[in-house]
Amino acid sequence: MTLASSGGDDDDVKRSNYKETSGAVKGLVSGLTAIVNAFGVGVDDGDGDGSGITRRERREARPLPSTPRDPSTLAADIAREFTEAKYLWTGDINPEMYDLYCTFTDPTLSFAGLETFQKNLANLQPILSRLVRDSDVELYSCELVDTSEGDKVRARWRMTGNLRLPWRPRIDLEGQTTFTYKKYGGDRGCLITAYQEEWELSAGEAVT
C-alpha cells in the first residue's frame, strides 16, 4: 500500500544509522538532549512507576485507543503524522499509536519509552519554534512492509527549514523511518513497538 508517490527506487541509497555513528557524535547529541531536558518538563517512564508495577500491568491499565487500528489504518495515520501534523518539526504525535515501551532510534540517539520520546519532543519545541522558519515536511511514500523481522510501516520523507541565524543556514534532510508494530488484536489493535529513523547523510554532517 503506497500512500504517497515514491521518489523512485531507493534500495541502493546509503543511509546513516545509529550503529554507524561515531561515539563522539552520539555523546554530543546525548549531552545536548540532557541539557535541554534538564530545563524542560516531563519525566522518564522507565520500567515502572516505582511502586513495583510491571510493564504488563501498566499496558493492561492503559486506556484503550479511541479507535483500534488494523495495519492499513495504522499506516494511514502514520502518513497523516507527516503530512498534516508535520511531527518531524512540531513533535505533534498521537501517543495512542505507540506501545508504552516502544524503542526510538535515530542516527544519534537510542532509548526506550513513549514518555521519554514525548518529553524530548516537547522540550525541543520551544527551541525549534524560535530558531526555524519556513519549515515543511514532504512525504514521498508510506508503505506496509512484511519482513522476516516483523510487521512494519516504512516511510520516506524530506524535511526542510531555514534557521534564524546571521549566515542563514538551511536544513534539507531526507530520510526513512521504519515503524515496527505488534498486532495486539481486540480493542488495542496494532501498536508501534519500534521506531527507527535513518538519514541520507551522515549524522556528523547533520549535527555540524
**21-64, pLDDT tens digit by residue?**
445 433 434 444 444 444 445 544 444 455 678 988 998 899 99
Spell out the domains of the chain, with CATH numbers in brackets.
18-45+64-206 (3.10.450.50)
pLDDT at 180: 97
Which pLDDT tens digit goes with each residue over 72-94? 999 999 999 999 999 999 999 99
CA distance 146 to 119: 31
Supply the pTM of this predicted model: 0.78
> With contact defined as beta carbons under 8 Å apart, do 195 and 104 qualify?
yes
What percent of the chain clears pLDDT 70, i.e. is strictly above it? 72
Which pLDDT tens digit goes with each residue over 190-202? 999 999 999 887 6
pLDDT at 128: 83
